[in-house]
Structure formats: C-alpha cells, structure tokens
Amino acid sequence: MNNHVTEQLTRAGREIEHSSFAIVDREASAHSYADDQWQIVRRMIHATADFEFNGLTRFHPSAVTAGLNAILAGSSVVADVEMICVGLSKPRLAHFGVTTRHFISDQDVIAAAKRQDTTRAVQAICKAYRLGLLDNGIVAVGNAPTALFEVERLIAEEGVRPALIIGMPVGFVSAEESKAAIAKIDSVPWIVTDGRKGGSTLVVAALHALLALAEQKDRWG
C-alpha cells in the first residue's frame, strides 16, 4: 500500500519510482540486510545507480529504530552542508515536524575556522553543539570528514548523544578514516558507507527512506 506523504505526488511519478525500485531489487546481488535496512540501501542505489552500496553500507544494530523514533519525535537534522537541507523534501519533513539546520556559511563559523586554523565544518558542528542541537538530533554528514571527526570527539569527550549519525562523506582525504571511526562507536547509532564513496545525495536518499519507513510505522504501527 502506498504512502500518502513520502511518495511521488503524481501517479506517473509513483509508477516510475516503483519501477526503478523493482529494477534495483531484481538486479542487486544477494544481500544480508534486514528488510528495513534494505529500504535505505535500495533508495541509495536508486539515487546513484551504483550497486556497490549493496555491501558498502553498514548499520549500527539500532540505527533504523533510532532514526524512525527521532523522526516521529520531530527531532532536528543537523547537516554539514546546505546541499543536504536543500535536497530534503520540505513537505515530508513538515509532516513529522522535522527541521533542518546547517551552519557552514555562518560568519561566526568562518571567523572561528580562520582564527583556529581549522575547517568551517568543524566549527559548524561546534556551533550546533553550543546550540544544543546534537543531543537527540540526527547528524547528517555527506561532505566533510572533519565534521564527522568532530562529532566523534564530542561523543567521546563531551558525552554528546545524537539519536543517529548518518556519516557518508565522500573524498580522498580522511573520508574513509572518519567513517571507520564512527563505525567503532557503540553508544550512538550510525549508518555509514565504507571507503571513499559517499556524498550528500546518499545522505538525502537515506533520510528520505527513513521518512518513508516512519510514515509506514506511524500509519500501521
């Protein structure tokens, strides 16, 4: 049965999306993901046409449940870059009362990064921490490994407890290492992609999949 809020708004759009998902299911090799995890991985493949995410995507055992509970509670999404916030469906977020925040271009963030000779992404995460947005929120990182390392530091040193970390930065400098570091955390649920592959598109796809699963849970229990 179709979701009302988290699917395409037109019949034609829904048919195309459902057909695309069916192709992914048919062409994907065997996988060991749970059904709800596969809904996320499948949408990531759909967004990129890259079947390597079947295997590259890893989940903390509590990740999906934690993400659904956070969405149903109307928790904030704190993103490392504006692209994630722009890519997320505003009507779908609004249905759950979820807001998105990013601070990468704030003047105080830029000034602090210059003053401390660090990255804007680090200072943006620090600002989110000072504003109390990290605890019980969803942290979404698709671009900056330094943001993910800062989240790891705040968890270890300051006791920060996000509801869920979606850590999928892309790149050649520290991207793989930052995700590996997050995947060692037991106290906070996470979803990561192994290796260099990642990006904001994947984070958006994962969040849209969680929103769809949240609608199903909200409607059918």
46 assigned to active site: yes
The active-site residue, picked from 4, 18, 46, 95, is 46
Cα angle: 138, vertex 25, 189; to 5 degrees: 20
- C-alpha separations of 62 from 59, 166, 168, 205 in Å: 8, 13, 18, 19
Place of tokens 């659904």: 68
What are the φ and ψ backbone dihedral angles of 77, each rounded to 5 degrees? -105, 120
Give the list of residues 6+ apart from residue 74 with CB closer than 8 angstroms, or none.
96, 97, 98
Give the list of residues 6+ apart from residue 189 with CB closer than 8 angstroms, or none.
60, 61, 62, 63, 65, 66, 67, 163, 164, 165
CA gyration radius for the chain? 17
Residues designated as active site = 46
